Structures are given as C-alpha cells and as structure tokens.
Amino acid sequence: MTRAMNDRSRLLSEEALTKYRIELLVKGTVVIAPQMLFTQDDLARIDQLQTQIPEEEVRLGDAGDSHNVFVKRVRVDPPGRPPSNAHGRATGQIIELLERKDRSFALKKILGASSDYVIRRCQMHRLPPGSFVGIHLDAESDPDFDYSVIVQLARDFEGGEFVVYPSAYEQQVFRPPLGAVLVTTCKLRHEVKPVHAGERRSLVYFCSKRSGANRRNIESSADDL
C-alpha cells in the first residue's frame, strides 16, 4: 500500500494511533486530526443523511444539568433497555458509516481495547448562538459509557469551546477544527461553552464494552443528553 494512495491509508498508521493512544491515557482526552478517522467524503455523507432526521430542543440533561442545544437522535440508550437506532433509514446508515471496519479498527487502537466497542448512543448536536451544554458527566447517562467521540462538523463559529475538568482545579480547553475528532473518557466532567456567533455542529457517540440494557436507575425521566 502506498502512502499517497488515499486518505484512508492514514487511518491505518500505527505510529499515529499509538501517539493518540498515549495522549488519551495520560490526559483522558485527545483530539485526532482532521482526515485521520473521517474523510471529507464521510463528513459530507453524514451531513446529507442527518437532514432526514427530526430535531428536538433539549434544555435539561440526565442529571438535572442545564443545556440549550438542538439534538437529532441516531441511536438511543434508554434506562433498562438495550441501545436501538432511532426511527428511519438514515440513522442505521450513519451507524454503518461509523462502524466501518477500518474506522472501528483505528478507534479500537486509540481506545486501547482488546475487544470490540459498541456504540450505545449516537446523536447530532446543533448549537446556534446562545446555545451551550452545561457541565455534566456522561457516565451519569449510562454507567457503562467508556468514551465519548465527538466529530466536528462545522468551522465558522465563535465560542463553543469544549472544556474538560480533570479535577476541581484544572481545566483543559479544546477548539477542534472541522473534521477533527475529540475523544474523551466518560469519567471526566465537561461542558460546551456558549456559542457567540455562527453555528457549532457535531456528531457525538458513546462507546462501551457492554452491549446489554442500560443499567442507569432513574426516578423521573428527563430529556437525555
């Protein structure tokens, strides 16, 4: 295989995968450069498929946290039930794209898995000016979430930084470019700062080693985010 063959060959670079693996281990979060996991064609395909999915506004997270974000459900993970694709053909086609063999292989290397990961939940996020995602812990939505994977689908926006809080005294601020993929452990609190201008769009999915029913217990049902 020649290096210049196509973008896909970069998915298989052992050297790059190891570098990202180490950074994820050390920091709990890593940004994978554009074109490594998703080519421009992949991004265009996601953009096209997501137009077929209905959108809802979410203002309350699983833990009573505050949000203001527009969400399209691709795969849902309700408490007490196994994950399932949301209604419509496009949702299955997006999951198929995410689970393509070379991409799953590369991601598995970065996550340091010996067994396969399953996508438990997947959704599109759209944040017009004034929107934000309040501080939360993904593991509160599903205790079996291991990593969240966030694919950046927009470039012309201001604000909307992804901020991770490894402890009460530290914060890591990320501004991933279009096509970059941010991977973070679901065990760290994080937020998306308010968008000031333009529109921030992303595809978010949550990977787990467990495929059974969601083991989260809830008394009252809140909008899932």
Q: Name 182's bridge partners.
A: 31, 150
- The pair of structure tokens assigned to 10 is 């970069």
Single out the residue of 42, 62, 77, 138 in contact with Fe ion (rule: CB under 5 A).
Answer: 138
Q: Which residues contact 64 (CB under 8 A, 6 or more apart)?
A: 222
Minimal CB distance residue for Fe ion = 138
Considering the complex, state which of residue 88 and residue 134 has its C-beta at the smaller distance from Fe ion. Answer: 134
Residue 19 CA to residue 22 CA, distance in Å, equals 5
SS3 state of residue 93: helix
Residue 175 CB contacts under 8 Å (≥ 6 apart), including other chains: 161, 162
* Interface segment toward Fe ion; rule CB under 5 A; list 23-31, 52-60, 137-145, 209-217: 137-145
> Nearest approach, Cβ of 47 to Fe ion (angstroms)?
22
Residue 85 or 123 having the CB closest to Fe ion = 123
Question: Which one, 138 or 146, has the nearer CB to Fe ion?
Answer: 138
Q: How many residues does the chain have?
A: 225
Q: Give me the least distance between CB of 84 and Fe ion, in Å please.
A: 20
Q: Which is nearer to Fe ion, 138 or 144 (CB)?
A: 138
Question: Interface with Fe ion by CB under 5 A: which residues?
Answer: 138
